[in-house]
Structure 1
Amino acid sequence: MCAFLLTTGYSIAQEAGSAAQSSSTHSSTTVTGTDPAAWYMNPIVWVVGAVILLLIIIMAAKSGKGNVSNREVSRTTTTTTTVKED
């Protein structure tokens, strides 16, 4: 807790400037479309990622069913009864 309070106090003290030191610095940052760090902003990446995710979900759903066959099974039972008359 003390370390947190000391670092907070130090940060606030650094932000305050005196009136005698009036220096002005300007900086600008320009982001272009060829920035390799901005690959996640490309819509094609999102579409391809969504398609891959859907394929994974579909494959997982199909593998959970096991070996289920679509064949129709029918069973016929024949019984024979013999009645004896006296």
Structure 2
Amino acid sequence: MSDIINEAVTQLTAKIGTFDGSVKFIVEGEGAIMVDQAGVRAADEEADCTLTADEDTFRGILSGDVNPTSAFMTGKLKLDGDMGTAMKLGGALS
């Protein structure tokens, strides 16, 4: 597993813990992270919503330097699935 995935699992666990719903983050070329009722883990499973970004965009979202909505609107963050779940996660990351 890559360093970015390990780091993201740690950061997301501290920020979110568990989440009512399921979201998968795909970091291009690195791997996938699941966030759901069971917590945060490195995994590639079915989810209500899948968010895909490159490493720089993903790191920016985690650090708070990149606004997820702006990243989505400019095509740097791709969304597949339930937009409401993605917005709920965005609120949990703030």
Q: For the pair shown, which has the larger CA radius of gyration, 1 or 2?
A: 1
Q: TM-score category by the smaller chain?
A: under 0.3
Which structure carries more strand by proportion? 2
- If asked which structure has higher relative contact order (CA below 8 Å, sep 6+), I would say 2
TM-score of the aligned structures, taking structure 2 as reference length: 0.16
TM-score of the aligned structures, taking structure 1 as reference length: 0.18
